[in-house]
Amino acid sequence: MHERVDLGAIRAVLLDMDGTLVDSDASVERAWTTWARERGLPAAPVLAVAHGSPSDHTVRHVLPHLDEEAVAVAAQRQLTLQYDDLSDVVAARGAADLLAALEELELPWAVVTSADRRLAEVRLATAGIAPPLLVTVEDVREGKPAPDGYLQAAAKLGVDPGSCLVVEDSEPGLAAGRAAGMPVAALRGLEGGLLLPDLGHLAHLLRRARVRPWWRDAVGYQVYLPSFADSTGDGWGDLPGVGERLDHLVDLGVDVLWLTPFFRSPMRDHGYDIADHRAVDASFGGDGALDDLLDRAHRRGLRVLGDLVVNHTSDAHPWFVAASSSRDHPLRGHYIWRDPGPDGGPPNNWLSHFGGPAWTFSPATGQYYLHLFRPEQPDLNWRDPALVARIDEIVEYWLARGLDGFRIDTAAYLVKDAELRDNPPLPADRPGQMGGVTDEWLRQDHRHDIHQPDVHAIHERWRRIADRHDAFLVGEVYELDPVALARFVEGERLHSSFWFGLVESAWDAERVDAMLAAAAAASPRLSWVQGNHDRPRAATRFGGGRRGRRRSLALHVLMMALPGTVWLYQGEELGLTDGHVPPGEGTDPLGAAQPGRSRDVARTPMPWRPGPGLGFTAGTPWLPEGGRAEADTVAGQDADPASHLNTVRRLVATRRRLTGLLAAAQEVDRVDLGAGLSAYRRGGLWAVANLRDAPSAEIEPPAPVVFDSDDPAVSPDRPRTGPMRLAPQQALLLAAR
């Protein structure tokens, strides 16, 4: 395990030059190759030790028989070769963004290099970089891996060494930073407290570290564990598989990932039937796999949420096994038990999501127990103080262990009506709001079994625990009225809650537009989501094919301007439609109860690359592959700048660059740009989309266009101005600084 780097505590950034801040690899390699050839040496072993070390150090290593005078001459010859070749010397990828972020954040910085001053100054100048402080090999008694240079830079900046972040791309440089007692960030796939694909990622992490609370305006990603990535070849997704795919999430621009349940379970509902809340199921890799994943994620700057499932447990949970053994058992009160009704049947008319009564008779004690889901998932009794205390301890346990918060399953279901009164039927002409469940369920007004006002007190308890750990709680609250939903996140209740209006909608441009506007006005603390593992995929619900993907993408652009947290469900970045699951090959218990509402279509394996197993597994997947084509895979879309994947990457990257604009304004206003467009303004940021199926009239954008869903050439560095017409489902971000 590595120590977690707290970027919020960083007071200065110290950067190596070659290979870190300046891309000079080609010229360095040419110089050393020429030097090696002059001495009759093979280039490969010389290049293996040259990077990140002073020239004389490399000379001594490869020519140990030379005396010091000869070493100095040989090292000077190598430097002369480097002075004479500055072609291909440019700023490293993301360097401009990082230096801009350091200026925005008023963080002092310095360059600490193993090069001499003449070479460092000319290389930095060639790359267009002027450091406020430059420490070279001439300024120190010992070069890297000794810590002198970094300690000297910290002293000159007047910053405590422990609050300086060292950014390096070589083992000697990382060793120097560690020896100086500084947290280190590593490039080139090396090991450090932070692992960086490029300097732009560090710029984003530094900006995000100043956002309080940290989840504000974050981009989240849902991992449905059984279907994301399988590391063992057994066809079942696991935690090591997620760890192997974290760089995909980093490239996508994700800040926080939510893992569906990983706890010990009989898997009758794929993990949502928990048998031990303190153990990781062996099928997901066990406890060590979770620790490793948390470490790997945190070193990439990713936060990780667990899935808190405490409306019910598995009937295999030791609590239920004990509670069902006797009416007098001390754990009996953890569950809801009642005598049969007057006719000998269930105590009331409540229904299960999976069909039939929500009550199952237990012959051992002569009472019924409640289960709003499967009979194997008995509901917990949240009116039992002992149960409340137990769950508090579970929440504390996982947050102390390293989780950054929870998505709370069925967050509004926990408390039931104290008198267990019957639910009234709904009039035939007034269907229920909730989709994706059995027809029986939809015919009741669920006035007494869910959404009881006492549930807020539970959320407030958890909020106090979470705030002590700087953790995030986002609720699964199936309340489609955004004003009613806002009550779940007001004050000191949940930090956020998913708004499922878009998840429960087919495509109607005007209705979707009006719904989104109402939700945006209801609260700045909602989580914006189009899909999840329980509903058909957004691109399918929105029309399927290219049109469905474009509609979904246009909504993602609008969501990016809204305060709160934006979420992607795995595969949405690929524009996936529902996977094909042949009859008889599904596994969803809800689908068994009502085949037309099977959730399997949203759960087919993540398609990483073409071929058998789709890169998800080397074996036979637990669900059919879904009929995916090469164009549906990450590999199939990766190289195409106009692919859905790369368009989503561009969208998130643009939003990252605009973190300052987002942080400056939490209020969002719907604006009228005419031409039938949907538009929101948040400070200096506009999101504009044509949700209709016809081109818009011509408009004059009120600010430069920095993202265009239809034009990969547009970016914050290459904005576009001037009048334009928006094609159907074309969407833009505009920014005025």
Residues labelled catalytic: 409, 476
SS3 283: helix
Between 644-657 and 545-559, two packed helices, what is the crossing angle to 10 degrees? 10
- β-pairing, 669-670 vs 90-91, is unpaired
User: CB–CB of 259/305 below 8 Å?
Assistant: yes
Q: Convert 393-457 into a string of H (helix), E (strand) and C (coil).
A: HHHHHHHHHCCCEEEECCCCCCCCCCCCCCCCECCCCCCCCCCCCCHHHHCECCCCCCCCCCHHH
Looking at residue 551, the DSSP 8-state letter turns out to be H
Residue 565 token pair? 């947290």
Biggest CA-to-CA distance, the chain: 104
Cβ atoms < 10 Å from Cβ of 526: 24
User: CB–CB of 731/709 below 8 Å?
Assistant: yes
- In 507-655, where do the E strands start and end? 526-528, 565-569
Among 227, 218, 217, CA closest to 537? 227
Burial of 468 from C-beta contacts in 10 A (0-12 / 13-18 / 19+): exposed
Would you state the torsion angle of the CA atoms of residues 103, 109, 115, 116, taken in this order, to the nearest 10 degrees? 100
Alpha carbon distance 12, 108 (integer Å)? 5
b/e 9-38 (16+ beta carbons within 10 angstroms → b): ebebbbbbbbbbbbbbbebbbbbbbbbbee
Residue 291 token pair? 């620790």
Burial of 700 from C-beta contacts in 10 A (0-12 / 13-18 / 19+): exposed
Residue 349 token pair? 């008319």
Alpha carbon distance 224, 127 (integer Å)? 44
Alpha helices in 53-143 (DSSP H): 55-62, 68-83, 95-104, 117-126
Alpha carbon distance 689, 696 (integer Å)? 10
